[in-house]
Amino acid sequence: MKLSIVSTLYKSEGTVAEFVRRASAAALAITESYEIVLVDDGSPDGALAIAVALASTDPHLKVVELSRNFGHHKALMTGLKHARGDYCFLIDSDLEEAPELLAEFWAKLHDEGKDVVYGFQARRLGGWARRLTGAIAYRLFDWLLSVPIPTNHLTVRLMRRSYVDSLLSHGETQLVIGGLWVITGYRQQGISVAKSNKGATTYSFLRSWQIFLDSVTNFSAAPLVAIFYIGILISVVAGLFAISLLLRWAFGGIGVAGWVSVMLSVWFLGGLAILFIGVVGLYLSKIFVETKNRPLTIVRAVHQSAAAEDSP
């Protein structure tokens, strides 16, 4: 198998048929030895039924049905595990990223001898609030993470088999795939992609915030190191203040202590302590989940035509 096109299904009822048609045409322009792997991530609409019906008559199409919704990143990794191609083209099925990008990515990969070609947005879509929070998040990533994350990078990417095998060798189950794409290494090149906006994103603010926390705690120990140094700083400041109080008591006496300043100090340091305990708790929760050694996802069924099942 030369080429695998991998995507996921979640609320994709309105786009899956067109996606398969356009992805097939893009693949055929390169090779007849291709497959399309669609991973149903517990889609609540009729996307799975449509995809299964298409797979029953299309030997190039394979539908991997998960037992429930595991999340976009885990579904993508599951799709790559089921892909057999020497090259894997990863792309979302919502058609915000055009399947026809395959031709441009294919040429870039071979002309420049790269292992990965990925897409990124020159300008992030959405309102000002979404663009602002996104810009802040990427600046924090660059500051906190040891390996810089490409700004506004997208799902769409073409990868050689050697890179995909290395990507799949990562063993964690609490994963953030954007970080894994980067730390896996190899020769990577970005291409600016014009991404369209088909409607409301399935990533809510709370989901985006969770991904941000996971990204930081999965790839950086900087918050734990910061807690250590902040603790030293507070201790030094408290020691200097204690010395000043002793000197005032010894040489001039101390007036009535201010109740407001005492309460502010107690509330501030108490809140800081709780925050630090929470940060440590995030890291401990990661360790707790990973030690259970649970599977990344659970596959309920794999749907494909009889002709595809008989092929080597």
Is the domain of 268 the same as that of 211?
no
158 C-beta neighbours (distance < 10 Å), count = 28
pLDDT tens by residue, the chain, 312 residues: 799 999 999 988 889 999 999 999 999 999 999 999 999 998 998 899 999 999 989 999 999 999 999 888 899 999 999 999 999 999 999 888 899 999 999 999 998 889 999 998 876 655 556 566 656 666 666 666 666 677 777 889 999 999 999 999 988 877 778 788 888 889 998 888 887 766 555 555 566 666 666 666 676 667 777 777 777 777 777 777 767 767 776 776 655 555 556 666 776 777 778 777 877 887 787 777 777 778 889 999 999 876 665 555
Is the domain of 107 the same as that of 253?
no
Is the domain of 78 the same as that of 191?
yes
Is the domain of 124 the same as that of 78?
yes
Asked whether residue 143 is assigned to any structural domain, the reply reads yes
Number of domains in the chain: 2
Residue carrying structure tokens 């993508």: 76
Is the domain of 153 the same as that of 226?
no
pLDDT of residue 176: 76
pLDDT of residue 164: 94
Is the domain of 263 the same as that of 302?
no
pLDDT of residue 116: 93
pLDDT of residue 269: 75
pLDDT of residue 48: 93
pLDDT of residue 266: 73
Is the domain of 164 the same as that of 17?
yes
Cα dihedral across residues 92, 97, 98, 99: positive or negative? negative
Q: Is 312 exposed, middle or buried (0-12, 13-18, 19+ CB in 10 A)?
A: exposed
Asked whether residue 236 is assigned to any structural domain, the reply reads yes
| pTM reported for the whole predicted model | 0.74
Is the domain of 94 the same as that of 154?
yes
At 299, which amino acid appears? Answer: V
Is the domain of 58 the same as that of 194?
yes
d(CA 13, CA 9): 8
How far is residue 206 from each of residues 56, 68, 203, 212, 213, measured CA to CA in Å? 38, 20, 8, 10, 11
Domain limits for position 12: 3-219+294-306
Asked whether residue 311 is assigned to any structural domain, the reply reads no
Asked whether residue 161 is assigned to any structural domain, the reply reads yes
Structure tokens at 50: 């449509």
2 touches 34 (CB < 8 A): yes
